Structure 1
Amino acid sequence: MDKLSTRERIVSAASRLFYNEGIGRVSVDAIAAEAGLTKRSLYYHFKSKDDLVTAYLDYRDLPNLQAFQRWFEEADGSASDKIAAIFNQLEISAKHPKWKGCGFLRTSSELINMPGHPALKRGIAHKQRIEAWLAGCLAAGGIANPDDLARQIRILLDGAFAVVTLDRDPSYMTLAGQAARTLVEAASRQQTGSPPA
């Protein structure tokens, strides 16, 4: 098996274990076993567990962003409807028995005392990428102050992730989506000068 496919097997195994159990509870031995490799082979591709944690977040970055983009594009209606649809889809995801919350937030919380950790930087970059994409969508819809509004929606997203993870009640996702819809509708009215409904 070539190096690339071996590396992918390792990252895939690490991703499953880290997401399901948390990074602190998963050993390099467990990842090697999950990937069907020796620990020596794993260390040939990754110098340390820290490198594996960073690769795990890299592995999740683009698929997560693409899911948000797909949900936005597939939703009917205005920008506010499309933003709310993201939260609705997250509620569906959160109902799955294997859902364990946001891997970026969970990993970041485990690394909170290590501000220079590469994986923590990846988590920050991912959240900023989501925020920038949201701002772009809002700007394309002609909404005023899209950067500030995108930050507000990000707060609602991450807050909903935290509450649903803690309470195990997916309905908080849709409630957060309703709040996001209200914010986007208010910004749209402000842009057009329409009176409140």
Structure 2
Amino acid sequence: MPEAQSPTRKRIVDAATRLFYAEGIGRVSVDAVAEKAGLTKRTLYYHFKSKDDLIAAYLDGRDQPNLKRMAGWFEADQGGVDSKVEAIFANLAVAARHPKWKGCGFLRTAAELASMPGHPAVKVGSRHKSNFEAWLAGALSGHGIEEPEVVAREIVLLIDGSFSIMLIHRNPDYIEAAGRAAATLVRARTPDRD
């Protein structure tokens, strides 16, 4: 069985995910993760050579589920492509209204590691954001949007900007406003259909 599928490794990553997301990576010790996972620190270090590797695994474990969730919101919306894009923001606003919501784990981790751009977790976060942008550009292209890569980048700026401001104000209205702006950008690049 590959290490990535090991039940013990999964238990450690699940514990780290709960703690890192709730409290931040700097405030959570390896001891706390081991305790939450119900394992010894030695067992944890058998599966992860450092806390840095554990932080990267935490974010890596959020990558595909987050991408699938946003793609699902896009696909489930019955409106035009502008509505589909706005649906991503509307669903993020619903998530942000949950009392346990702490923002984008990728952005929060990158902020904590701002002085360490080569950190493995920063690389995972960069890959995640690039993957989302590439997926979105492909989805927009499939709906005939002009300059889909440009529009996707603008939408990513709106999403991440609204995540940042919501952490300051704790007000999901910002992401809803960003969603309306994103829908406007999409409509502006939608070719006329005769």
Is the structural similarity TM-score above 0.5?
Answer: yes
Write the distance in 1 (CA, Å) between the matches of 2:75 and 2:151: 19
Report the secondary structure of 1:192's partner residue.
coil
What are the superposed Cα offsets for residues 100-155 of structure 1, whole Å, 9 maximum, x if unpaired? Answer: 00000000011111111111011001000010011001100011100000000000
Q: Does 1:25 align with 2:36?
A: no
Within the alignment, does 1:166 sit opposite 2:148 as a pair?
A: no
**Structure 1 unaligned regions, length at least 5:** none
CA drift of 1:165 comes to 1.3
Residue type of the alignment partner of 1:8: K
1:61 equivalenced with 2:63 (yes/no): yes
State the match for 1:94 in structure 2. 96
Q: Which residue identity lines up with residue 83 of structure 2 in the other structure?
A: D
Partner of 2:138 in structure 1?
136
CA shift digits 1:57-109 (9 cap, x unpaired): 00100000000011001111110000000000000000000000000000001
Distance in 2 separating the partners of 1:122 and 1:83: 24
Partner of 1:180: 182
Normalised by the length of structure 1, the TM-score is: 0.94
The TM-score with structure 2 as length reference comes to: 0.96
Residue of structure 2 equivalent to 1:80: 82
- Percent identity, aligned pairs only? 58
Q: How many residues align?
A: 191
SS at match of 1:158: helix
Q: Following the alignment from structure 1 to structure 2, what is the Cα–Cα distance between the partners of residues 124 and 5?
A: 27
Root-mean-square deviation (CA), in Å? 1.3
One-letter code aligned to 1:111: L
Deviation >3 Å, runs of 4+ = none
Measure the CA separation in 2 of the matches of 1:69 and 1:145.
20
* Equivalent in 15, 18, 38 of residue 17 of structure 2: 15
